[in-house]
Structure 1
C-alpha cells in the first residue's frame, strides 16, 4: 500500500524514538562496561528463539520473516556501472526488530481481545529500511520506519511493512523487494525486482532493478549458523552473492541505466553479539576470477579479549568453505575523518589457504550512513598487495565508530 509523504513523516516521528530506545541507539558506542554490545545487540534474549548450530533451514520458507527471533534483516549491496562506465554503488536494507518475545505483550500495550485481530496501534514488530546511492563524491541516504503485529494474518500482505516467503515479498511502504517469478511452485526468490524511491526534484534518489540469481544460496559457518563470539553467540546467516543486477538508478534527480553485481545477506538472531563487542567490520568481495569472499571481525569477544573473526570462501560454482578465526587476518592500514570520526578505509585482508593477500580500499571515504543508528557503508576495490593488480570489487560495512 503506497503511503503519502505526510503519513510517512508522521510514522517516522512516532516510531524513531521507540526504535532508538529499543536498539540502544541513543549513543553511537555503548558506555564502557554496559554489557549491551553495539546497538544493544548483545542484550539478553530470554524468551526468544535462539540461533544455534544444527538448525535446519527450509527454503523457500526461510526467505520470509522469523518473528520468534528478536532481530532480522534483508540486506542488499551492489557494485554497478552506469551507461558511461562510471561506477555506482547502492544499498537497500529492511530490518525487523521484535518488541517482546513471542506470546508476551509489550508493557506499553493492552492485550487485544482477539489475538488474531490486534488493533491498529498494537504492534510487536518494528521495521526500519535504509536506502543509499553513491556515485563518485555523491552519497545520498534515506530511512523509513513502520510497525506491525505478527499475530495478524489479515495484514500478511497488506500491512505497512512485512516479509513473506512465497511468493516472496519484503517491503516497507512502497520500498519493495519482490519476486518476478510467476510459477507459485517455483522458488520465487531466484528472480527479484527492487523498487525504492525517495525525495522529489533534484533531491530524488532511488532505483528500480531486476536481480537474477546466477548461482546458489550460500550457507555461512556451520550449515548456516554463523558464530559471532568465542562465547558462542551468533546468527543464522545465508547469502545470495551471485546476483546479476540491471535497471535504473536515480541520484540527484538524474536517471542512470546500470548493470553489475549484487550481494544479498539474510540474517536472523536473538542475541547477535557478545555483551562486550563494540562493533564490526564486514567485507563482501566479488573477485574477477569468479570467487566470492565474505569476511568479518567483531571488535572484542574473541579469545583473551581479542577480536573475533570469521568468513566464507566461495568458489565460482557456489561451494562455500568456512574460515575459522585463525584462518584470516584483517588489519586496518589507514583511516579517514568521516562525520567527525576516524574510520579505517584501507585494510589488509589475508586468507593464506586461498593464497590471498589483499589491499582493500574505499575509493571514496565519505560514505557515512547518517541514520538513526549511524554506521559507515560503501564500495571498495580489492588489489593484490604485492603486484597492486586489481582483483575485484565489493562492499565494506563498519559499525561502532
Structure 2
C-alpha cells in the first residue's frame, strides 16, 4: 500500500544522519537516533536539568503575538487539520503538525541554537495515506518562525500568512509522492482554551499549557497524489499550544478530538491520563457568535466503544462515545481510515473522523498510546 512506502525509514534516517554529523549527538536525541521510529521512546523529551518559564494562570494570551515561538518554554506546537472534499468525490484529511523542542535552556546562534523543529504532514483518504516527517536544527535557516508577517517553514515546506494570525494563510508542501497547496480563511472567531488561554491538562498531576484555536476556518486548494491533481475544499482547524509538559513521563497519554458540528458549533475535547491514574477531560463548545462554553471534567462522559486491531498488531480504541447531557450532545465517532498509526518522533494515531448521533459532523482524532 502506498502509505507504507511514504512512511518508510529512508527519509527519516537521512535527516537523522545529518543531525548526527552536525550537532554531535545531543543527549536529547540519544534514544531517537539509535532506534527505528516504531520503537522510539518519549523519555528523551525529559528536561529535568533545564530551567524554563513556568506555565501560570493569569497570563494574557494574545492571538496576534502568540503565533510566534516562545523559546523560553520547553515545547511548542502549530497544528493544522482540514476535512476536505475532492473533485474526485472522495473525502480527504490533511494534517500539518510542527513541534519546536528546546534541548537546552541556553540561547545559542548558528549550530549552537538550542531549538529543534520536526514537522509531520499527512494526507489520507479511505484506504490510502501519504505521510512524511522532517527534522531540522534551528538557527541555520533550515527551519524556524518569523513574524510581521507570520511564516513557519522547514526546508521547502511553508505555512505563511499575510498578517500575524493563522488566517488568511497558505500551506505549501512538496515531496516525491505528494504535495499540498491550501489557502485558508476565517469565518468565525478565535477561541482561547481553558481560562483565557491557560489550559489545565490534569488537575491531579498539576499539568497545564497555553493554547488558543482557530476552529472556524474554510480552506480550498489542491492536492497532488502520485502525480494526480485533486481540487479540494472544506473545513479546517488550527491549534497553537506551548508549555513544558508535552510528554512529562512514560505512560502519560492523551486523546484529543476537534469536531465541526453541522449546527455550526465546534467541539474540542482533550483527555489526559496515565495507565493507572484517573482520566481528566477538558474542552470547549464554541459558536460563531463568539460564545464559548468550557466543558468541565464532570460534565462529560468520554469512553471507547470499540477497539480495533491494526495491521502491526497494535490495539487501539478507534470508536468513541461522547456524551455531554448538560448541552444535549450525544455522539459516536467513526474513523475514515483505521491504518493511521504514525511512527514519527512522537508516535500517535491521528486521522479524520465522522460523528453521528444528536449532531452530525466531521473532525479529527489524535491518540497517543504506548
Pairwise TM-score range, normalised by the shorter structure: 0.7 to 0.9
* 1:371 corresponding residue in structure 2: 344
Pairing 1:212–2:185 present? yes
* 2:142 corresponding residue in structure 1: 160
| Range that drifts further, 74-83 or 160-169 | 160-169
Unpaired runs of at least 5, structure 2: 1-9
* 2:335 corresponding residue in structure 1: 362
Name the CA shift for 1:320/1:291 in 2 (closer, same or farther; >3 Å).
same
Name the CA shift for 1:400/1:8 in 2 (closer, same or farther; >3 Å).
closer
State how far apart, in whole Å, the 2-side matches of 1:51 and 1:102 are. Answer: 19
State how far apart, in whole Å, the 1-side matches of 2:300 and 2:95 are. Answer: 26
List, as ranges, runs of 4+ consecutive aligned residues in structure 1 with deviation greater than 6 Å: 6-9, 22-25, 27-31
Please provide the CA RMSD for this pair.
2.8
CA shift, 1:76, in A, is 0.5
The correspondence for 1:72, drawn from 76, 97, 102, is 76
Name the CA shift for 1:80/1:222 in 2 (closer, same or farther; >3 Å).
same
State how far apart, in whole Å, the 2-side matches of 1:7 and 1:87 are. Answer: 27
* 1:312 corresponding residue in structure 2: 284
State how far apart, in whole Å, the 2-side matches of 1:15 and 1:399 are. Answer: 26
Name the CA shift for 1:9/1:343 in 2 (closer, same or farther; >3 Å).
closer
Contact 1:209 1:246 (C-alpha < 8 Å) held by counterparts? yes
* 1:109 corresponding residue in structure 2: none
State how far apart, in whole Å, the 2-side matches of 1:88 and 1:188 are. Answer: 25
The correspondence for 1:232, drawn from 201, 206, 219, is 206
Q: What whole-Å deviation, never above 9, does each CA across 1:110-156 have from its counterpart, x for those lacking one? A: xxxxx6xx34x32211000101011110011100011113xxxxx6x
1:26-45 map, 5 Å: 44=48
CA shift, 1:10, in A, is 4.5
Pairing 1:147–2:120 present? no
Pairing 1:263–2:237 present? yes
State how far apart, in whole Å, the 1-side matches of 2:332 and 2:11 are. Answer: 46
CA shift, 1:170, in A, is 0.6
Contact 2:273 2:280 (C-alpha < 8 Å) held by counterparts? yes
SS in 1 for 2:298: helix
State how far apart, in whole Å, the 2-side matches of 1:162 and 1:91 are. Answer: 19
1:76-115 map, 5 Å: 76-103=80-107
Name the CA shift for 1:56/1:126 in 2 (closer, same or farther; >3 Å).
same
Tell me the matched-pair count: 353
Name the CA shift for 1:7/1:299 in 2 (closer, same or farther; >3 Å).
closer
The correspondence for 2:169, drawn from 186, 192, 195, is 192
Unpaired runs of at least 5, structure 1: 1-5, 32-37, 104-114, 150-154
Larger radius of gyration: 1
State how far apart, in whole Å, the 2-side matches of 1:243 and 1:23 are. Answer: 35
* 1:127 corresponding residue in structure 2: 117
State how far apart, in whole Å, the 2-side matches of 1:225 and 1:25 are. Answer: 36
Q: What whole-Å deviation, never above 9, does each CA across 1:175-210 have from its counterpart, x for those lacking one? A: 10001x3xxxx65533101000111xxxx1120010
State how far apart, in whole Å, the 1-side matches of 2:245 and 2:12 are. Answer: 30
| Range that drifts further, 273-282 or 262-271 | 273-282
Name the CA shift for 1:45/1:380 in 2 (closer, same or farther; >3 Å).
farther
SS in 1 for 2:288: coil
Name the CA shift for 1:74/1:244 in 2 (closer, same or farther; >3 Å).
same
SS in 2 for 1:257: strand
State TM-score, norm by structure 1: 0.81
* 1:343 corresponding residue in structure 2: 316
State how far apart, in whole Å, the 2-side matches of 1:332 and 1:265 are. Answer: 24
Q: What whole-Å deviation, never above 9, does each CA across 1:241-275 have from its counterpart, x for those lacking one? A: 11100000122332100000011110000124654
State how far apart, in whole Å, the 2-side matches of 1:365 and 1:7 are. Answer: 24
CA shift, 1:7, in A, is 11
SS in 2 for 1:13: helix
Contact 2:136 2:154 (C-alpha < 8 Å) held by counterparts? yes
State TM-score, norm by structure 2: 0.87
* 1:293 corresponding residue in structure 2: 267
Name the CA shift for 1:234/1:357 in 2 (closer, same or farther; >3 Å).
same
Pairing 1:281–2:255 present? yes
CA shift, 1:340, in A, is 2.0
Pairing 1:178–2:160 present? yes
